[in-house]
Amino acid sequence: MSSPELSAASKAITNAREAWGDNYTKAIFGMLISSIDRANTLIKPPEPVDGLKIQIADMPLTRRGIKTARLWGMHSRWSGFDLVMDSKNPQAVLDEVEVTTFHETTRVRIFQERIINGHYNDNTELDPLGVIIEDGMVIATLENLLGPNAHDLHKYTSHAIDRNDIRRHIASYASAQATTDLSNAEHLDIHMGSKELPRLGYKIGHAIVSSAIATHELSTDEMLSQSPKFFSDHAQSLIA
């Protein structure tokens, strides 16, 4: 008699134990559960995150010459997200769990808010400027809720970039050809920048959103409720 097929959750746990051992598996999954609960409470998506898919895999060390994280996520539209966790470095995965969970929960909230308020049907409608602004909304949320010293967050913020360079890069994103058919890889490349300017999309998006927060005295909750046009108009005002 063949053995019964493992559920998705059981399979993820089995794969994790095989890759990392019991102690890291308990620590990572425990941190993941507590981080989802905390993120739902602080970020307050209209419908809390209640779905999760996990894959344990051998992840690339770099992308376009930029060192990658050991835990990578993508929100699955309404109220869940998918995670790819590195099979080779469980300590790095553990270090990144909370920030990644808050990151993806923030994306879930942004998506829900914009669907509910009729701003778009699917966030692949965004042009390059809209893509980096969503990145900026996420990074600003992490900075406000987890603090500026959250794991690796400084790599994604704009504080070290000169104002004139920020304006120049905003103008470049604003003039980039809009497309309604950005693939996942193209979205990633907009975020990641280049080896010379790593994670540029995150940084310039953060600069735009941080400026809007300061100019309009927005709370994190208010910021997450704004439309794409609100931030696009603010970005244009910075280069006018």
- What average pLDDT is seen over the chain? 89
pLDDT band at residue 180, thresholds of 50, 70 and 90? very low
* Residue of 116, 140, 145, 148 whose CA lies nearest to 202: 140
b/e burial code for range 44-75 (CB count within 10 A of at least 16 → b): ebeebbeebebebeebeeebeebeebbbbbeb
Residue 3 has pLDDT above 70, yes or no: no
CB 11 within 8 A of CB 17: no
Longest dimension (CA), the chain: 72
Distances (CA, A) of 82 to 14, 224, 232: 17, 21, 28
Contact 40, 48 (CB under 8 A): yes
Using alpha carbons, select from 20, 9, 98 the residue that is nearest to residue 54: 9
Least confident of 18-32, 33-47, 107-121, 186-200: 186-200
State the pTM of this model: 0.90
Question: Beta strands 51-57 and 80-86: pairing type?
Answer: parallel
Do the beta carbons of residue 99 and residue 35 sit within 8 Å? no
Of the listed ranges 3-17, 138-152, 200-214, the least confidently predicted one is 3-17
Measuring CA to CA, which residue among 201, 216, 212, 211 is closest to residue 134?
201
Q: What is the pLDDT of residue 76?
A: 78
Mean pLDDT of 83-103: 96
The mean per-residue pLDDT over the stretch 83-87 comes to 96
Quickly tell me which residue has 């590195």 as its tokens: 86
Rounded to 5 degrees, what are φ and ψ at 56?
-100, 120
| Alpha-carbon gap, residue 94 to 96, rounded angstroms | 5
Q: Which residue has the tokens 């209640």?
A: 50
Q: Determine the pLDDT at residue 175.
A: 84
